[in-house]
Homo-oligomer: A and B are copies of this chain.
């Protein structure tokens, strides 16, 4: 099993010094054409490539960015990764992925693993557990060691760093306004518990839209789901609660759900109760997923432009990494990505 060839080996074979080989390969003017040709030919023959690790050690930068997300089997996060990867590769960086699996402990461990020299900076979205525990010491510690962080989607004001977020508030508000314009008189909200910041903002958007239209929010129309449960259990409970909601509020003619799954469940339950979509009930969801597009009827959703978020986050991070002015006062920015309402068959 051969090893990769190194400068040293080339030098030995050609009976020159290591530094001569190094210079010859970089086409230095210091080296004679003869030597250059000889070295380059040999290097090409043996397919020489500089060892990244050695370069990283020398340059004190790895040209690798770490991305930590709560879960990869989610369209939204996959798309963000794709965006990050796209920009990163274009700018000469690799991407290393860590999954927190929504666990605080795994998030911390993963960050520690990567922070010890493997990467130059982080792009991350916090786990639900971290949001719940409100323990952000690992972020602040990482940053105090000179490693920049860009957070996306699930962010928190207690951590001072660059951020890329969805305009959850206005996305939700516009969605609900759409329902109102479509003559819905009694609009239900299916959301998560408030500790997930995005859920909270979407809830606020819902309330704001109602108020602007002089409609009075009714607490019995707001369903807050506990999403910390196991997926299967969660799903079952979800449908039961939605059914309960519909049954106790027969006047409901519109539903805004803070994610795709809730929206689909609402449609499923509605159909089960013999309600027609969109004639009896109109439904709008939130997210970029495939489910919405291929559902029956296809679901009107608020698109988050996940890939674009990934791209922006990557640009933000790499810009910071490559900015020479370490001295310059730290200026953190928060990019807000506008949402877009994609109208499909679940609304009129």
List chain A positions with a Cβ less than 8 A from chain B. Answer: 1-4, 47, 49-54, 56-57, 62, 64, 72-75, 78-79, 81-82, 85, 89, 94-99, 110, 112-118, 141, 144-146, 261, 264, 268, 271, 289-291, 294-296, 326
Contact = CB atoms under 8 A, between A and B. Distances in A.
Contact of A97 (B85, B113, B114, B289): B85
B146 A96 contact: no
A73 B113 CA distance: 26
A1 B145 CA distance: 7
Contacts of A294: 261, 264, 291, 295
B64 A96 contact: yes
Contact of A57 (B50, B57, B291, B326): B57
20 contacts: A3-B146, A4-B116, A47-B141, A52-B116, A53-B117, A54-B117, A64-B96, A72-B78, A72-B85, A73-B75, A73-B79, A78-B78, A81-B97, A94-B96, A94-B98, A94-B114, A95-B98, A261-B294, A268-B296, A291-B294
Contacts of A52: 116-118
B4 A118 contact: no
Given A64-B118, A290-B290, A294-B295, 15 more contacts: A2-B145, A4-B146, A47-B141, A49-B112, A52-B116, A52-B118, A53-B62, A72-B82, A78-B78, A81-B97, A85-B98, A94-B98, A261-B294, A291-B291, A291-B294
Given A146-B4, A294-B295, A94 B79 contact: no
Contacts of A62: 53
Contact of A116 (B50, B271, B291): B50
A145 B53 contact: no
A55 to B, nearest CB: 8
A1 B326 contact: yes
A73 B78 contact: yes
Nearest to A306: B73
A96 B89 CA distance: 13
A289 B74 CA distance: 11
Contacts of A261: 294
B47 A53 contact: no
A122 to B, nearest CB: 14
B72 A81 contact: yes
Contacts of A326: 1
Contact of A1 (B110, B114, B146, B271): B146
A283 to B, nearest CB: 13
A53 B291 contact: no
A52 B112 CA distance: 11
A84 B243 CA distance: 39
